[in-house]
Amino acid sequence: MIQVLRKLASTRLTIFGMILLGVGAALNYDNPVTTPAWVLAIPLLLLALNLCAAIISNPNINRRGGLLVFHIGLLLIVVLVAIGRLTKLEAKIELVEGQSFAPEDMIEVREGIWHTGDFKGIDFVQGPYSVEYTTGMTRGPTHSYIAVPDGKGGWEERVIGDHTPFVVEGYRFYTTFNKGFAAILTWTPDGGAPVTGAVHMPSYPLFEHRQANRWVLENGEEIRFWMQLETGMNPEADWKLEPARAHSRLIVRAGEERIELAPGESARLEHGTLRYERLAGWMGYKVFYDPTLRWLFIVAFLTVFGLATHFWRKFGAAEVHAAVQDARRSQIVDGGQTS
């Protein structure tokens, strides 16, 4: 049994596991959606097995308290990271002002095979947002306002930022640089019921001169849109992007027709009536879930504590012992000189 554990604890297996982990990290670079979770989970579990065998079979580890705590901490970190990869979720979502969160609206969803996907406790409505810019178009703080249930039948306001997430049921929502404007439109087909929806324009101000999109109706007819915006953008000074204070005109192209609409105006098209209800802002969020984060922090603290204890006993105690010996020698010499 000991021989088997020593083989599992070999440094060659450690190096092999590190190579596999490096390959997995390279495949997982920039979090491509197509990369499965096992490319990192398997190397991590292999390294955990290697480290566990080393702890059991190596007396230089298991007979020294601080070093034992350090290696157990490393083992727990490896296991927790592997569990985190199997239970995590990463996704993106764009919410327009007034829109409620719905899990089916998430895009680029990447989740571990053990992720439960329970979003029942997540309920919030997107509100307005503002983004501060400094001279040279450098993006500053983002303040995205949302409304969440207060548990008393009402709503309370929360603010989300790039580094200030909205945390609910373990899920974290962070704002991103991806945000822009949307045209809220109502289409009333001839003889049919009106349909209201939002047409998102490309990210602003990244695509300032490409604020265009299209809407395909149920009958297959395509309506193209181009939005003219006045936001107060000034690359040579500090300014704030606030969709609530922006002004717009919507250029509509349907077939050979070209129509210009302001918010609240309608236009008669070939098969129905289009109304430009209002201009709204949309905010892009990064959604992140990893139930192991809190435990990782605790284990990392204990791991560092174990290593610090080991080095203190190894070097600190030796220095204290040497200082005591030097003091004793000094006393003997002084005593001899006195006598």
Considering the chain, what is the average pLDDT of its residues? Answer: 87
pLDDT for position 307: 86
Q: What are the extents of the domains in the chain?
A: 2-88+293-332, 90-289
Q: Which of 158-172, 203-217, 314-328 has the lowest mean pLDDT?
A: 314-328
Instruction: Kindly state the average pLDDT of the residues 15-40.
Output: 76
Q: d(Cα 257, Cα 261) in Å, to the nearest integer?
A: 13
pLDDT band at 59 (very low <50, low <70, confident <90, very high): confident
pLDDT of residue 18: 85
> Under a CB-based contact definition with an 8 Å cutoff, are residues 73 and 299 in contact?
yes
Task: Give the integer Cα–Cα distance in Å for 55 and 219.
Answer: 68
Residue 268: half-sphere exposure toward Cβ, Cα within 13 Å: 1
| Token digits of residue 254 | 């349907």
pLDDT tens, residue by residue, 190-201? 988 999 999 999
* Nearest in space to 109 (alpha carbons), one of 159, 37, 44: 37
- Residue 332 pLDDT > 90: no
| Integer-rounded Cα radius of gyration of the chain | 31
For residues 176-193, average pLDDT: 94
- Residues 95-123: what's their mean pLDDT? 91
d(CA 5, CA 97): 59
In terms of Cβ atoms closer than 10 Å to its own Cβ (0-12, 13-18, 19+), residue 50 is buried
Q: Does residue 319 register a pLDDT over 60?
A: no
Between 119 and 279, residue with greater pLDDT:
279
> pLDDT tens across 130-165, in order?
999 999 999 999 999 999 999 899 999 999 999 999
CA dihedral sign of residues 73, 74, 79, 82: positive
Are 279 and 263 in contact, with CB atoms under 8 Å apart? yes
Q: How confident is the model over 265-301, as pLDDT tens digits?
A: 999 998 899 999 999 999 999 999 999 999 999 999 9
Give the integer Cα–Cα distance in Å for 204 and 282: 10
Interatomic CA distance for residues 185 and 94, integer angstroms: 17
219-246 mean pLDDT: 93
Distance CA 89, CA 33 (A): 11
**Structure confidence at residue 339 as a pLDDT band (50, 70, 90):** very low
pLDDT at 303 over 70: yes
157: nearest Cα among 170, 171, 143: 143
- Give the pLDDT band (50/70/90) at residue 37: low
Residue with tokens 């030097």: 326
**Residue 225 and residue 223: Cα distance in Å, rounded?**
7
C-beta of residue 173 within 8 angstroms of C-beta of residue 159: no
**In this structure, are residues 252 and 259 in contact, taking their beta carbons and an 8 Å threshold?**
yes
